[in-house]
Amino acid sequence: MTIHLINCFTCNARWPSKLKTGMACLLIESDQGLVLVDTGLGLDDYAHPTRMTQMFRVATSMPFNVNEAAINRIKELGYNPEDVRHIILTHMHFDHISGLPDFPHAKVHVHRSEYETFTDGKKFRWTDSAYDPRYIAHRPEFIFYETIDSKWYDFDAIRLPFQPEMYFIPLFGHSRGLCGVAIRTKDGWFFQAGDSSALYDDATPTWLIHLVLGPHDERLRKFKRDHPEVIVSNSHMFPEFIEQYQTID
């Protein structure tokens, strides 16, 4: 079984101008068909950008290239997008779920706290402004998770119903239900830590990382140092990383 690391949303900083990032989504060949982890921007957002997307186009440098939509990336890899049967969401901010309507028949796996935060309309944290109900207007079938039933290394974990072996890793902070996703590979694990840290960014002050991404950065950096057998990624990664790990068996 293979993991494809695909860039589904380039969003570069205007300052510092050398900071280039893409959205590291995962396409996984599983025993239940193709599984997509996060979606990046979807086709409708390119055709009719939401207010949040428009704001990011001003605040950052975005190619805004529809070829980066997950559905188009998947076609480029030679797969049929209709074979994406499941979508796992690290969380439900716009840049992670905008592509949901492009896969209307896919079941959507998410932590219950994240879904409830998305749908209750209450804003407890400034990052909650990144929620937009438009992306679930097609009423996808949701599967919710909340009960810790496993351990993955020293992290609390929730087993996901797929092979290869996969887990949700609750890392609440950036959002109230954000979860990383750990996937077993032939040689170890791939751990997509979502927007819970800035593992490869040594320039941004610690206080700012904590303010924007939550409290897990130090722990995840230590985990990465202690476990070289695990490939650890955040959602927003520099292009060289995505290129290096574009195919993992």
Report how far residue 103's alpha carbon sits from residue 108's, in angstroms, rounded to the nearest whole number: 10
Peptide bond into 16 cis (omega under 30): yes
* Identity at 220, one-letter amino acid code: L
> What local confidence, expressed as pLDDT, does residue 197 receive?
97
The b-or-e profile of 194-228 (16+ CB within 10 A means b, else e) is bbbbbbbbeeeeeeebeeebbebbeebbebbeeee
Helices (H) and strands (E) in the chain, counts: 8, 16
Mean pLDDT of the 32-55 span: 96
* Identity at 148, one-letter amino acid code: I
Q: Is the per-residue pLDDT at 110 higher than 80? A: yes
Tens digits of residue pLDDT in 54-108: 999 998 999 999 999 999 999 999 999 999 999 999 999 999 999 999 999 999 9
> What local confidence, expressed as pLDDT, does residue 221 receive?
98
Q: Is the per-residue pLDDT at 122 higher than 80? A: no
Strands 107-111 and 142-145: parallel
% of the chain beyond a pLDDT of 90: 91
Contact 98, 70 (CB under 8 A): no
Q: Write out the two tokens for 87.
A: 């979508």
> pTM of the full predicted structure?
0.97
Q: Write out the two tokens for 61.
A: 């440098």
Helix axis angle, 217-226 relative to 206-213, nearest 10°? Answer: 100
Q: Write out the two tokens for 164.
A: 């290869």
Tens digits of residue pLDDT in 164-196: 999 999 999 999 999 999 999 999 999 999 999
Q: Write out the two tokens for 244.
A: 């290096």
